[in-house]
Amino acid sequence: MTIETRTSIVWDYAPAPESADHIRLKDRYGLFVDGEFRDPRDGRYVSTINPATEEPIAEVADGGPDDVTAAVESARAAYPKWAALKDLERAKYLFRIARLIQERSRELAVVETMDGGKPLRESRDVDIPLAAAHFFHYAGWSDKLRYGVNAPEVEPLGVVGQIVPWNFPLLMAAWKLAPALACGNVAILKPAETTPLTALLLAEICQEAELPPGVVTILPGDGSTGAALVRAPGIDKVAFTGSTAVGRDIQAALAGTNTRLTLELGGKSANIVFEDAALDQAVEGIVNGIFFNQGHVCCAGSRLLIQESVRDEVIAKLWQRMGRLRLGDPMDKNTDVGAINSAEQLERIETLVAAGEDEGATRRTVSCDIPERGYWFAPTLFTDVSPAHRIAVDEIFGPVVSVLTFRTQAEAIEKANNSRYGLAAGIWTDKGSKAFEVASALKAGVVWQNTYNHFDPTAAFGGYKESGFGREGGPAGLRPYLKIVR
């Protein structure tokens, strides 16, 4: 085992920090219940901190069991009117929310970056525009639900409990809320404990859009709030995005009940590079696949499968490209790799990386200036990885890629499918027929060809195996929120 490090930032950029002067955050945010912000019943507030500076940003309510009960009561009261609203009227609210997200996009991008640590370039160009696009997309479906699911008569399910993780806070909220509301359901959304702020700004947007009280509830809190929400009487459906371990717990809790469930869980996705691929493009795709959002991406291309004949060339190009990634202040518009979301997540990454070294893989970590405060992990590449190593099996959820090799197409498929997960995959080849053949043999919900981490509200997203079940996005994303009457 050797550790090589290098720094190859070949030119310096002047700092280009985005200003936070224009945002208007309150010191304290309560729970958004019945169309207004309220104090939690037991009065508990916790600070949400900026992971790039470790400074507190605001205090946020920590929802307890009584708050869950109040949220469900308010949602149940709002449901009949919302479900009975004319389709086009429901659509108007969704269009309004989409436009308000666009109007407040600069503010939302800055707050997303401060609360979660992701580079501003990503929150500005990916998270916020895609969140608006999801509301626009499902606004358009509101009066076409029957066509979307190909059934003559459909009904909403009722009150939906939705739980999201911290890696794409506003975007995941939009993935959940937009289809649920379009289908005539009312929703209670629990944001993740480390990133509640943009969901609370979305609550303000719901007020500005004059959404009827109780149609959207935002219930900040930790895992125990989520666990109480899942088990609350009066919840008709649960939609969860997060870790496989928690997904399993929720599935066990709901077994034998009438509550419907969809799960979007973890992944260990294979990014497969064939020898006939355009290798420079593939390297850009590998970088985007694993270093986008510090690798805090459920579908990250964390298992890189390279055909043996081009292994050395791809690794050399990749290593050179990695050395040019800029790690640092997420508010700087030139930053490529921001802060790790929390101290706990940093510890998880460090534990798995140490396991990789202990098990005999070769680690290379880019050497760069690490800010003194905050949580950081420099881009890391593992070679000499065997399929049984933990770094080839477990989700690291950080900027760490594990390289495996293959000789034939059949071996590539076998290795890619050798995972308990099945969320996504990438295929890099110049041959269309090969791409389609491989894609149809892969057990993965999304397969990208000559691109990676490409998201669109019209396309379905979801997993196989331990990556979960149910789809979000496109017409397929309507199905989990509708009862097919006939």
| Segment 394 to 413, residues that bind ligand NAD, using CB under 6 A | 395, 397
Catalytic residue among 18, 112, 183, 298: 298
Give phi and psi for 150, each to the nearest 5.
Answer: 60, 50
Nearer residue to ligand NAD within complex by CB, 91 or 423: 423
Cα–Cα distance, 60 to 294 (Å, whole number): 25
**Considering only 137-145, 222-230, 308-316, 400-408, which stretch makes contact with ligand NAD by CB under 6 A?**
222-230
Nearer residue to ligand NAD within complex by CB, 194 or 383: 194
* Half-sphere CA count of 118, side-chain side, radius 13 A: 29
DSSP string, 116-136: H---HHHIIIIIHHHHHHHHH
Residue with tokens 């310096």: 12
The least distance separating ligand NAD from the CB of residue 455, rounded to whole angstroms, comes to 10
Residue 31, SS3 per DSSP: strand
Nearer residue to ligand NAD within complex by CB, 211 or 239: 239
Asked if 46 interacts with ligand NAD (CB under 6 A), we say no
The least distance separating ligand NAD from the CB of residue 369, rounded to whole angstroms, comes to 28
| Segment 166 to 205, residues that bind ligand NAD, using CB under 6 A | 166-167, 190, 192-193
- The interaxial angle of helices 409-417 and 432-441, nearest 10 deg, is 30
Nearer residue to ligand NAD within complex by CB, 95 or 464: 464
* Half-sphere CA count of 151, side-chain side, radius 13 A: 14
| Segment 235 to 294, residues that bind ligand NAD, using CB under 6 A | 241-243, 246, 249-250, 264-267
Q: Which residue is nearest to ligand NAD (CB)?
A: 226
The least distance separating ligand NAD from the CB of residue 348, rounded to whole angstroms, comes to 8
Cα–Cα distance, 74 to 31 (Å, whole number): 13
Residue from 385, 423, 444, 447 touching ligand NAD (CB under 6 A): that is: 423
User: Kind of pairing, strands 159-163 and 186-190?
Assistant: parallel
Asked if 230 interacts with ligand NAD (CB under 6 A), we say yes
Catalytic residue among 18, 264, 395, 466: 264
**How is residue 372 annotated by DSSP?**
S
Asked if 353 interacts with ligand NAD (CB under 6 A), we say no
The least distance separating ligand NAD from the CB of residue 171, rounded to whole angstroms, comes to 9
Number of residues that bind ligand NAD (CB under 6 A): 29
Cα–Cα distance, 478 to 134 (Å, whole number): 12
Q: Which of 135, 147, 212, 213 is nearest to 179 (CA)?
A: 135
Active-site residue, 298 included: yes
**Terminal-to-terminal C-alpha distance of the chain:** 62
Residue 103, SS3 per DSSP: helix
Cα–Cα distance, 405 to 384 (Å, whole number): 9
Nearer residue to ligand NAD within complex by CB, 79 or 175: 175
Active-site residue, 183 included: no
Return the active site residues. Answer: 264, 298
Using CB under 6 A as the criterion, which residues of the chain lie in contact with ligand NAD when the complex forms?
163-167, 190, 192-193, 222-223, 226-227, 230, 241-243, 246, 249-250, 264-267, 298, 395, 397, 423, 463, 468
